[in-house]
Amino acid sequence: MIPQNRERFPDLHPSLDSQSALAEANRCLYCFDAPCTAACPTHIDVPRFIKKIASGNLRGSAATILDANVLGLSCSRVCPVEVLCEGSCVMLRYNKKPIEIGRLQRFAMEHGGVSLKAPLPDGRSSIRVACVGGGPASLACAAELRKQGTSVTIFDNRPLPGGLNTYGVAEYKLRPEDSLKEVEMIRAMGVEFRCEEVGASITLEQIEKEFDYTFIGVGLGAMERLGIPGEDLPGVIDALQFIARYKTTPDFRVGKRVIIIGGGNTAIDAANAAVRLGAAEVHLFYRRSEREMPAFPLEYEHSKVEGVQFHWTSQPVAIIDRDGCAAGVRFIRTRLGDPDAKGRRRPEPIPDTEFEVGCDMVVPALGQSRLMAWMNVVDRATGRTDNPKYYAGGDCVNGGREVVDAVADGKRAALGILGACRG
């Protein structure tokens, strides 16, 4: 059972009503050479879908979006539009507010009444494709293949499909039930879903015998560990597990005083969720300065409004153990040294500056590890690996980007597979 948290997690950007959507759509200039379309990784024809909203053709608007992005609803809610389509809006050249493309896309998807249907069997394709992983990349790959009549089976080791959309996106951005609606739409196209863990209940060798091609869309691995004493104590839960549990576990309880460790978007999501779940205090510690924090600026500003307290140049050195549970974190002050290989200044501990902060829950958010190192050997244009029967895309290839990037990868890989079949 999926818990209902609507009161605690109201939408970050509420849906537009009909009048507001019409007014916003009529602000659009419908640019011929639209930079917003170019900025979208899936290249949705933004002026076209907005113009259809302005003319009252919501079904046509939704169909335009789905033609380019099968996960158009979830992307309308989770995409960082301020750095993608809206960040490229020509309105910004005139010092005006950009068109609210994300909210208009959501309006069209929620009111357009469009669903994708399985193609009629015509005997053109006898190819069978396996997609390993049930997240956005695999869903997009499967949908694109089904449009051409290809038989597709998605293997996922979790009870609910959808990957990060279902388990890992903060609920005020995307609820599990909304993610699962998109899954059901893709299932209705004729995609088969099998809850099996590849490598355990079924091997890659067995998949190779049953399928002609395999798409790998397994995402990233577990969160990176802190590497300090006490990180395995009860009361320490990494950010992805924290988000997944409160989204899917009805009786999940948050601590009264929560410490978040990290400075990325996932750390921000976990901190905001802890506030909304009832924590009296939420403190986020980052080992670099405010300027170096990798989270999007709008996410950071929103988190300050939520009431999260931020602490800079502080690096954890140990989790404090009290009666076998986490009771706080010991930190050391840092200063920024020379740039590392990525150009970011290294945090260097300052001797004799340790301090302790008490809490009853610690949530590390240090980024995720790569599951498969060989995923670096992928042709980004087609998704093909050095094995011509294997294609790949999504976070396991791009290192962890946005949902829309995973969708784009899945589409490219599907077209690569179809091209290989024809070639």
Kindly give, in sequence order, each residue whose CB lies less than 8 Å from that of residue 262, ignoring residues fewer than 6 positions away: 239, 284, 286, 364, 365, 366, 367
Residues of the domain holding 31: 18-111
Q: What pLDDT, in 10s, does the model give residues 364-376?
A: 999 887 666 555 6
Same domain, 136 and 102: no
Which DSSP string corresponds to 357-409? EE-SEEEE---B--S-GGGGSB-TTT-BBSSTTEEE-SHHHHSS--HHHHHHH
Let me know if residue 229 belongs to a domain: no
On whether both 88 and 133 belong to a single domain, the answer is: no
**Do 56 and 137 belong to one domain?**
no
Please report whether residue 54 resides in a domain: yes
pLDDT at 118: 59
The predicted-structure confidence for 151-201, as pLDDT tens digits, reads as follows: 999 999 999 999 999 998 888 889 888 999 999 999 999 999 999 988 888
Q: Check: CB of residue 32 under 8 Å from CB of residue 281.
A: no
The reported pTM is 0.89
In this structure, are 353 and 294 located in the same domain? yes
Over pLDDT 70: what percentage of the chain? 94
Non-local CB neighbours of 415 within 8 Å, separated by 6+ positions: 144, 382
Burial zone of 184 (CB within 10 Å; 0-12 exposed, 13-18 middle, 19+ buried): exposed
pLDDT in tens, 2-39: 655 666 677 777 889 999 999 999 999 999 999 999 99
C-alpha 319/C-alpha 330 separation (Å) is 6
Helix (H) or strand (E) holding 67: helix 58-68
Residue 44 and residue 207 in contact, taking contact as beta carbons nearer than 8 Å: no
Mean pLDDT of all residues belonging to the chain: 91
- Based on the structure, what is the number of domains in the chain? 3
What is the end-to-end Cα distance of the chain in Å, rounded?
Answer: 46
CATH number, residue 168: 3.50.50.60
